[in-house]
Structure 1
Amino acid sequence: MIELRSSVLTVGITGHGARIARLAAPDRDGRAAQVVLGLDEYAYYSDRDYLGATVGRFANRIGDGRFVLDGVEYSVPCNEGTVALHGGKRALDHAEFTAEAPHAVDDGVALTLRHVSPDGDNGFPGRLDVRVTYTVSGPDLRVELLATTDAPTVVNLTNHAYFTLAGAPEPVGDLEATVFADRFLPVDDRLLPTGALAPVDGTPFDLREPTGLGARLEVSDPQLDVAGGFDHTWVLDGSGPHLADGVDEPLPAAAHVRHPASGRTLTVFTDQPGAQFYTGNFLDGTLALHDGGTARRREAFCVEPQHFPDSPNRPEFPTTVLRPGATYRARSVYRFGTSPA
């Protein structure tokens, strides 16, 4: 495991799946604790929950594991019923990434990891060169995902860290969340988007103002029932605060989450059109964490900046097609802070 430090954060990165394996951040009293679920390093080889992993080649779901590109049909192995989830069986989350030497940046350090996914890997066309750069600087963990291809393909990459702002697994109902989006993607019984971009108004998905998750998750609603909680993509509208990059365009906030008891906060900024907000509905208490604990249903959450699920089969969604000569690029910043009691 490679450790990256700034004046605020300590982050552990492992090459198997280019994963965030550890992340320590302080509470309002300055006490640091782990705020992501992590495993013993060798346990990642059998992980099925994507803990901290770079997921793809296509993050989220592709219906029936099939899509057509330039008139040719491609098939990806289904690993969630009749759906290909996060790129299919043993995808980038179980790829071995090669780490370059870390290099110093202002108040921190950056690390780039690289993997080449061969043409036909899990059914995807094209040789895909993937680079993941983690930069730790002050209170920020910056994640940049780059990919190039030698043949037309589809790409959608994200990180799948499970956050626990309490410093240990704790019910997500204790959290307060804001998601900067006025629409979300309803899903069917396979958790595939129906194609609608539905207004959040009058629904449990209206998180435009700080909202306690406990009561919201207990609302009787068909969309919450089918997913067991939140496991949906919000259509980001750019209404939140923006983070000045200094080099690139400012990144708008996707979500802000606060743990009132500890004061820890997490704000996620991204240039992606959507963010999957997942409340750990499928955690079942059987996963042995590195500290000897476990995480049960709804005891951690994910904010996954990304393109929309099943986009290759939904021409009305923003395109995820990558062609030779172009570069796929996704930028996100996870900023940790504290709030007063």
Structure 2
Amino acid sequence: MKKLAALLLALCAFYGVTAQRISKIFFGEADGQKIWQYTLQNSKGMQVKVINYGATITDIITPDKDGHMGDVVLGFDSLKQYISKDNARMGAIRGRVTNRIANNRFIVDGKEYNVITSKNGEVMGTNKKIWNIEEVPGKKEVSLKVTYLSKNGEEGFPGNLNLTVLYTLTNANELKINYTVTTDQPTPVVLTSHSYFNLSGGKEDKVLNTEVQFFASQYLETGKGGIPDGNLLAVKGTPFDFTSPQSIGKRIQDFNNGDGYDLTYALRNQSGKLALAAVAYEPASGRIMKTYTTEPGVVFYTGNALNEKLRGKGGKPFTKHGAFCLETQHYPDSPNQPKFASVILRPGETFRSETVYQFSVKK
């Protein structure tokens, strides 16, 4: 069978036909365990690469307006770099509760829990764990299933949490990310994928010319440390108004002394059903990325902390505003905010969430 598969791939390559397939290579070792890099490839040649360290997306390779393939996410060449403290969780699954938790504490059913977190919700979160990973072949799409058991008491969180993330690449150049989570004790759950996008595919060092549009009329008001105060404010008349397509750099100097965007949008869709949340367009490459999600919010971050001291793929230094993140999720500090939708998962319940990044081009 292996010889037949190899022959088919060779014939496809000879006749210029791209086969849909899954492959893997050894990527290194962490904590005595082997780390693999899997590649999903669809019939159009688009590729998504994932490692089981942090369930991390390392590469998303898509065509530009001229048909040239390019990587549209930041990352590293080696496992050592991904493990490094300098890695800003690029491409990883963040949790158990991503983003902020005020005072590192929350209360569930009258009991207070103190958790070990950074301001972003984790120190040794799921992004620093080694996940199980398995291939899920299909006729019309290919998938990777990654799973992790976060044990009761890990980082102070209650309950044994079973996490499953399914990465699926379709022939419509869609990357689907599906989350399924169960628990044996009441516990908060807020998960997201933390890819840094630069849709130029290496043509531009910054994303200031990238045009974005959010299907959101409100954003979360925050106080010290970026902790929400429970209020939603209108974007109209502010530098946060991307209700129509605007370049990222157009008004970036009007906010936070020009440091860049880092805020949560409250999406118009609050139904829990999959809906369009944002559209990004990069003129240099013609690439378009549409983001769909079942989540109520999306964090927009413009790589404000990226700098030249850290080098990515091919030894290329990162630059401030060199990428943007669209982190679909429930609102930050939800466990402590009675105005926000509850994020407490209970035994017998199943948390489900889906986000889709759809790639195309405008010529």
For normalisation by structure 1, the TM-score amounts to: 0.91
Name the counterpart of 1:100: 134
After TM superposition, give the deviation of residue 105 of structure 1 in Å. 4.1
> Relative to structure 1, is the Cα distance of residues 28 and 270 closer, same or farther in structure 2, using a 3 angstrom cutoff?
same
2:110 is matched with which residue? 71
SS where residue 251 of structure 2 aligns?
helix
Secondary structure (helix, strand or coil) at the match of 2:314 reads: coil
Asked if the contact 1:64–1:78 (Cα under 8 Å) also holds between the matched residues in 2, the reply is no
* Residue in structure 2 matched with residue 28 of structure 1 by the alignment: 65
CA contact (8 A) 2:117 2:155 kept: no
Mapped partners of 2:317, 2:124: distance in 1: 23
Instruction: Tell me the amino acid that sits aligned with residue 118 of structure 1.
Output: K
Which whole-Å CA distance do the structure 2 matches of 1:105 and 1:128 have between them? 32
Q: Describe how 1:150-229 pairs up with structure 2 within 5 A.
A: 150-168=184-202, 170-219=205-254, 221=255, 224-225=256-257, 228-229=259-260
Structure 1 unaligned blocks of 5 or more: 240-248
Q: Is the 8 A contact 1:153 1:323 kept in 2?
A: yes
| Aligned mates of 1:99, 1:133 — CA distance in 2 | 10
**Counterpart-to-counterpart distance in 2, 1:61 and 1:103:** 37
After superposition, the C-alpha distances for 1:290-331 in whole angstroms (9 at most, x for unaligned) are: 221121111001000000000011011011000000011110
Counterpart of 1:218 in 2: which secondary structure? helix
CA shift digits 1:174-202 (9 cap, x unpaired): 11110000000122230111211001111
Cα displacement (A) at 1:172: 1.7
Is this contact kept in 2: 1:133–1:144, CA < 8 A? yes
Equivalent residue letter for 1:156: V
Residue 167 (structure 1) shift: 0.6
Superposed displacement of residue 78, structure 1: 3.4
In 1: Cα distance, 2:100 partner to 2:327 partner: 13
User: 1:250 deviation in Å?
Assistant: 6.0
**Counterpart AA for 1:205:** F
Q: Which of 52, 55, 60 does residue 99 from structure 2 map onto? A: 60
Whole-angstrom CA distance in 2 between matches of 1:52 and 1:130: 17
Q: Deviations over 1:65-104 (max 9, x none)?
A: 111111111111232xxx3x23x21110011100123312
Of residues 74, 85, 99, the one that matches 1:37 is: 74
Task: Determine the C-alpha separation between the residues in 2 that align with 1:7 and 1:205.
Answer: 38
Question: Match of 1:302?
Answer: 325
For the 8 Å contact 2:209–2:248, the answer to whether it is kept is: yes
Candidates 313, 327, 338, aligned match of 2:350:
327
Higher relative contact order (CA 8 A, sep 6+): 1
Q: Which amino acid aligns with 1:164?
A: N
CA distance in 2, matches of 1:215, 1:264: 19
**Contact 2:187/2:344, CA 8 A, preserved across alignment:** yes
Matched, 1:140 2:174: yes
Contact 1:170 1:299 in 2 (8 A): yes
1:313 aligns with 2:344: no
Q: C-alpha distance in 1, partners of 2:135/2:78?
A: 20
CA contact (8 A) 2:308 2:318 kept: yes
Equivalent-residue separation in structure 2 for 1:39 and 1:105 (angstroms): 31
Aligned to 2:34: none
Q: Is the 8 Å Cα contact of residues 269 and 296 (structure 2) preserved in structure 1?
A: no
2: distance between equivalents of 1:250 and 1:326?
A: 18
Per-residue CA deviations over 1:216-269 (Å, capped at 9, x if unaligned) read 1012x4xx34x9321111000039xxxxxxxxx962111101001210111100
Alignment partner, residue 246 of structure 1: none
Partner SS for 2:264:
strand
Q: Alignment partner for residue 124 of structure 1, among 157, 160, 171?
A: 157
Considering only aligned residues, what root-mean-square deviation do their CA atoms show, in Å? Answer: 1.7
Percent identity over the alignment is 37
Distance 2:188 2:244 in 1: 34
Determine helix, strand or coil for the equivalent of 1:312. Answer: helix
How far 1:24 sits from its partner (Å)?
Answer: 0.3
Deviations 1:111-147 (A, max 9, x none): 1010100001111100000001000012100000111
User: What is the aligned partner in structure 2 of residue 242 from structure 1?
Assistant: none
Kept in 2, the 8 Å contact 1:105–1:137? The answer is: no
Give per-residue Cα distances to partners, 1:141-182, cap 9 Å, x unaligned. Answer: 000011100000000001000001011262121111100000
Q: Which residue does 2:267 correspond to in 1?
A: 236
The amino acid that maps onto 1:35 is V
TM-score by length of 2: 0.86
User: Matched residues in 1 for 2:218 and 2:195: separation?
Assistant: 24
